[in-house]
């Protein structure tokens, strides 16, 4: 029996989408869906929910929970990772509140920036433990990472974990539908090319019947900027730098030095930037789960329609040898020629029985590559800190972050990092 292992299966709603998709995929019938989570109640909830979907769908997949991670992984052909280390309380709160004391405000704090750095530092050791288990009990498995910070964790698993890993994010899939719906443009028959790094990939080409749609997109975007709306940061970046970015405006507001500035508070209102957005979402999700739990976990009539998540389509393409195209996060083996070879990049990939094969992109527009490199700098120094356990590299990563460096002095950055290290306590290894 082939096996799909889901690490972080207590993410019940996400497990419903990904593993529910598997149960709706003919090529994956008969697979064992192995569930693992350190939260045993949430693990049981997900097992009950998936068992209900199995019964209602007539799937022949086997749903099984494990409390031993290595046994959950043993013999797996595919591994899906969706963990969060430290959760909302205490770690997410810490990532926001300590920087706020120094005057550094954030929106999501899960990719780069000071919040992204510390999320990486507490997650990388856990991921390397996963990698050791994978190498021992399922060395040929394809590891599909959904956990943020996407670029760094996917990089670490490939470079230091020795595990065949592809990072999967929703932003590429949602880019064209969200942009075109907001601008009132019909997306039927549109062809697009997207590449860059995770959360900062670029809509490089967008055409319909051979016609370049960018002039009309920019014309409508410029009109939209005359009023308040939810995507003002990305439109501003497109109008100034020439290309639309895949990930949302609330994310991109903190990836650049232009938008969240203490000395220009009017920018927050002008660009509709939701400060402290992620903590708000966490509180809402915790409250919403209490209401959703009964509907999902104990609903014997629960049904599922296949979603647009990449995972089941990747596995289906490998099992059937029918090609499928994804936007995947992979190592930059010469794929984007003006980004560092040490970086993890997000590029179009072809999936078939051979696995995930990235496609060559070449040079990005120089301004786009330059913006990507500002974030790659922090990513690579964060990895250096995590692997060497040298505190100075945490400082370096923070000092090179565009938003942090634009707001704080080097002394304040160093002091803030020291305070964050102390506050994280045992969530981090010792740094010398």
Q: Where are the domains of the chain?
A: 3-87+110-168, 88-109+169-301+332-432
Q: What's the CATH class of domain 88-109+169-301+332-432?
A: alpha beta
Nearest alpha-carbon partner for 404 in 192, 106, 122: 106
Percent of the chain's residues with pLDDT above 70: 100
Active-site residue flag, 170: yes
Angle, helices 277-297/12-23, rounded to nearest 10 degrees: 50
pLDDT attached to residue 340: 98
In the beta sheet, which residues pair with residue 34? 5, 64
Q: Quick one: how far is CA 197 from the chain centroid?
A: 11
**Three-class DSSP category at 38:** coil
Residues 6+ apart with CB under 8 A from 310: 144, 168, 173, 326, 328
CATH 3.50.50.60 fits 3-87+110-168, yes or no: no
The secondary structure of residue 338, as a DSSP letter, is: T
**Three-class DSSP category at 206:** strand
DSSP 64-107: EEESSHHHHHTT-SEEEE---SSIIIIIIHHHHHHHHHTT---S
Strand 324-331 and strand 211-212: the pairing is unpaired
pLDDT attached to residue 195: 98
**Which residues in the chain land under pLDDT 50?**
none
Question: Out of 170, 174, 182, 389, which one is annotated catalytic?
Answer: 170
Give the integer Cα–Cα distance in Å for 69 and 424: 25
Give the integer Cα–Cα distance in Å for 104 and 96: 9
Give the integer Cα–Cα distance in Å for 247 and 158: 23
**What would the two tokens of residue 354 be?**
């051979």
Enter the pTM of the model.
0.98
Give the integer Cα–Cα distance in Å for 333 and 25: 32
Report pLDDT digits (tens) over 203-225: 999 999 999 999 999 999 999 99
**What would the two tokens of residue 72 be?**
């959950």
3-state secondary structure 385-396: HHHHCCHHHHHH
| 165 touches 158 (CB < 8 A) | yes
In the beta sheet, which residues pair with residue 328? 168, 347
Nearest alpha-carbon partner for 327 in 313, 339, 341: 313
Q: Give the H or E element holding residue 404.
A: helix 402-407
| 342 touches 176 (CB < 8 A) | no
The secondary structure of residue 26, as a DSSP letter, is: G
């Amino acid at each position: 029996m082939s096996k799909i292992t889901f690490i972080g299966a207590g993410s019940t709603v996400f497990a419903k989408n990904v593993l529910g998709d598997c149960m709706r995929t003919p090529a994956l019938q008969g697979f064992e869906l192995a569930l693992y989570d350190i939260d045993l109640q949430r693990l049981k909830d997900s097992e009950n929910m998936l068992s209900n979907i199995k019964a209602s769908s007539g799937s022949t997949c086997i749903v099984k929970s494990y409390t031993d991670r290595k046994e959950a992984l043993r013999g797996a052909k595919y591994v899906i990772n969706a963990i969060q280390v430290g959760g909302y309380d205490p770690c997410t709160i810490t990532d926001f509140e300590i920087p706020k004391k120094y005057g550094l405000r954030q929106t999501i704090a899960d990719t780069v920036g000071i919040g992204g750095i510390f999320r990486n530092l507490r997650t990388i050791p856990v991921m390397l433990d996963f990698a050791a288990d994978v190498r021992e009990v399922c060395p040929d498995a394809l590891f599909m990472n959904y956990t943020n910070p996407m670029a760094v964790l996917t990089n670490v698993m490939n470079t230091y974990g020795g595990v065949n890993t592809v990072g999967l994010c929703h932003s590429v899939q949602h880019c064209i539908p969200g942009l075109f719906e907001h601008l009132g443009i019909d997306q039927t028959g549109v062809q697009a090319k997207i590449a860059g790094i995770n959360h900062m990939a670029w809509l490089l080409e967008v055409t319909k019947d051979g016609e370049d749609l960018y002039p009309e997109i920019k014309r409508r975007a410029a009109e939209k900027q005359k009023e308040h709306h939810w995507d003002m940061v990305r439109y501003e970046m497109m109008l100034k730098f020439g290309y639309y970015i895949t990930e949302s405006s609330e994310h991109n507001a903190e990836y650049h030095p232009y938008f969240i500035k203490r000395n220009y508070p009017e920018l927050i209102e002008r660009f509709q930037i939701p400060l402290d957005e992620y903590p708000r979402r966490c509180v809402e999700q915790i409250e919403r789960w209490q209401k959703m739990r009964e509907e999902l976990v104990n609903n014997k009539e629960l049904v599922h329609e296949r979603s647009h998540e990449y995972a089941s389509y990747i596995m289906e393409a490998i099992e059937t040898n029918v090609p499928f195209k994804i936007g995947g996060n992979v190592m930059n083996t010469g794929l984007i020629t003006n980004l560092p070879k040490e970086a993890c990049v997000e590029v179009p990939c072809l999936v078939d029985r051979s696995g995930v094969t990235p496609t060559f992109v070449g040079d990005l527009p120089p301004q786009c590559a330059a913006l990507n490199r500002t974030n790659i700098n922090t990513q690579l120094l964060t990895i250096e800190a995590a692997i060497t356990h040298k505190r100075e590299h945490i400082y370096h990563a923070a000092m090179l972050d565009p938003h942090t460096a634009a707001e704080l002095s080097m002394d304040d950055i160093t002091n803030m990092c020291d305070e964050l290290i102390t506050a994280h306590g045992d969530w981090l290894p010792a740094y010398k």
